[in-house]
Amino acid sequence: MKGDARVVADLNRYLSFELTGHRQYLLHAAMCRHWGFERLARIQDAYSAEETQHAARIAARILMLGASALPEELRTIAGAPTVPEQLALDRALVHDAALHLRAAVERAEGCADYVSRDLLREMLDDEERHEHWLDTEIGLVSSLGLENYLQAQLRD
């Protein structure tokens, strides 16, 4: 099966978001665990694992379309030195991924590639849930104060 080049390009671009997210969340989980923030570490580990599963599904779809899974250059990840900076970096990545997905869903629809469209919609739903969680956590840091927020992250 030969896929539309624009849809394949969108899938490959999204694959780069997923692989970047996997590495970034894995690094943030390790840092949080080192600092003793077990709740955040477990959540970041779960998001890292989810990104790996998403990347595998996206790569499989690209291959099904008769193309090569060649993600764009991965975005730079940074081990932010504080939890609020980690949350902000994660939010920026998720926000950019969701913006890309919205356009990619429309393009897949326009190309009558409904399977890719549905897959991308599912990924968009996950990104929006993740963005909501990040917004909530950032709001909690603001409303509770950093010290109280971090104290709550010691256990789950």
What is the extent of the structural domain holding 148? Answer: 5-152
The residue that leads in pLDDT, 146 or 156, is 146
Q: What is the mean pLDDT of the chain?
A: 95
pLDDT per residue as tens digits for the range 9-52:
999 999 999 999 999 999 999 999 999 999 999 999 999 999 99
Residue 156: per-residue pLDDT: 63
Q: Provide the whole-model pTM.
A: 0.93
Kindly report the CATH number assigned to the domain that includes residue 138.
1.20.1260.10
Collapsed DSSP state (helix, strand, coil) of residue 10: helix
Q: Is the pLDDT of residue 74 over 80?
A: no
| CB neighbourhood size of 112 (10 A) | 10
Total Cβ atoms within 10 A of residue 100: 19
How many separate domains does the chain show? 1
How many angstroms separate the CA atoms of 12 and 62, rounded? 8
Kindly report each contact of residues 143-149 with a partner whose C-beta sits within 8 Å and lies 24 or more positions away, as own/partner: 146/83, 146/84, 149/83
